[in-house]
Structure 1
Amino acid sequence: MFDDGKPLSEREAWLWLISNAAWRPMQILVRNGRAAEMLNLDRGQLSFSRSFLQKAWRWTSEKRVRTFLNRLERESMVDLLTGQLQTVISICNYGVFQNGGALTGPANGPAMGQQRAGNGPEEENIINIKNKILPPPSPPGFDEWYAIYPRKKAPQAAKKAFAKALASGLIALPVLMERTRAFAATWANEPKDRRKFIPYPASWLNAGGYDDEPEGGGEPAPAPINPRTFDDDGWRRRLKYFQDADKWLDEWGAKPGEPGCLVPPHLILTPVSNSKGAA
């Protein structure tokens, strides 16, 4: 499988993990130098060292393997359990990949920490559903931007919002990075119980939160923290977002038409372009 001498892509590495997971409970012998132990694997589990995976996938470093496995774990695609000698990887929802088949032949594994399943899932079945399981690749620049943003939530929604913001042409990536750093700096010294008020990355992007940061440094506008500080232009942007997306964010207070709404009445009574009547 994928034996063309080239490094595996992340999708191919994901399929490799599925194909090499135990088809039924089995025991393998794990060796690491002079140390050795028998390891029990359940259905859907496999155990390899990162150095072995790096060589099998022909990747440039163990760090890339670790980053990829951690990403799969964050996306609830695998569970990782680090043992004394190597990591046990459990494929989440492993049964989804199965297409029936009889259990024939012994389930065993060679030495040096390698293991092979008996009868595994059929490759055709995996290929048919892989695109529904594996998260799409990150847009260019997203990983660097996401590392800066001060709250890590809903990364797939953030990817879509990130790509949409840059595709709009309203902001360039270098400017977005600069304003995101400024926004993150305003939260750097906040206590943990306050950080729950940081907008989700996708919400901040979709609402144009980067426009709330002043040009040329200085103290960033506190709009994402306290909606009472929004000026008319800030409210107009949010009313336009409410009109287009039919969504009102909690950090903006009560939505138009509800008790406690903070939007100035003269803006609610003045239609935004192509208004539905909500703004």
Structure 2
Amino acid sequence: MRAVTGHINVARSIFDHPMFDDGRPLSPREAWLWLISNAAWRPMQVMVRNGRSQQLVSLERGQLTYSRSFLRVAWSWKSDKSVRTFLAKLRQEQMIDLQTGQLQTVISICNYGVFQHGGSPAGPANGPLEGQQRASNGPEENIISIKEKMLPPPSPSGFDEWYSVYPKKKQPQAAKRAFAKAIGSGAITLDALMAKTKAFAVETNWPALSKRDRQFIPYPASWLNAGAYHDEPEGGGGEPVPVARDPRSFTDGDWQKRLTYFQDSQTWLEVWGAKPGEPGCLVPSHLLLTPVSSAKGAA
């Protein structure tokens, strides 16, 4: 039988098509195609986690990083050993290269470009990929991969502190851009913005708002883009808004509501003093030892 030559384009999503979701294990040929289809098609970064440890791993074109246990499940194979044996055979045939790192194993598809665009490899027919990432020896662990997505840009200086104060946590990437624009344009200084935001948080009394009322609080990006930090706060009857209450005057009921808000949103406002578990926390100890009630809102 004459060998068929040439190339075809196959969508990566073929492995997710419900037509083939029959639970049967992938054949070695299908597993090989799975590796090619899941390799990075451009340089990118993935997050690798091992328990509480995590690190960013840079992948070059044609590389991917998964644990053997992940591949076993993805391929519906019986054991991690079968995955390890298969990868070892691919490496022996110079179809892949393996670099074992502190938290991960990086798999490099040899001559990845040949499988993507056709043509002849620039080097030996099955030679190793040039410029591969090398990692130090270490155990292979669980992998959390951000496939075909670049990690979000780092936060502007001061943003994280500001965002923790703003009462509504929505669309953080848009908020980062609006924050950088407001500070970078000189429209307001960081110190002034922090003071205005804290006052706004007190004025809105977010913990006490119902779910229905919270929808009227603007998203952080909208608040920044509208220059709302220049607005003067208003009291219910036109009187000046009082400054934040001294948390030492809070009753048990006040603290219960704030603890519930903290449990639901993982946000603790600075005006309430030190966070539970930190030195100087003002929350009565008997409340910290009592399960938080489901009551919503704060006084």
TM-score, normalised to structure 1, is 0.37
Bigger radius of gyration among the two: 2
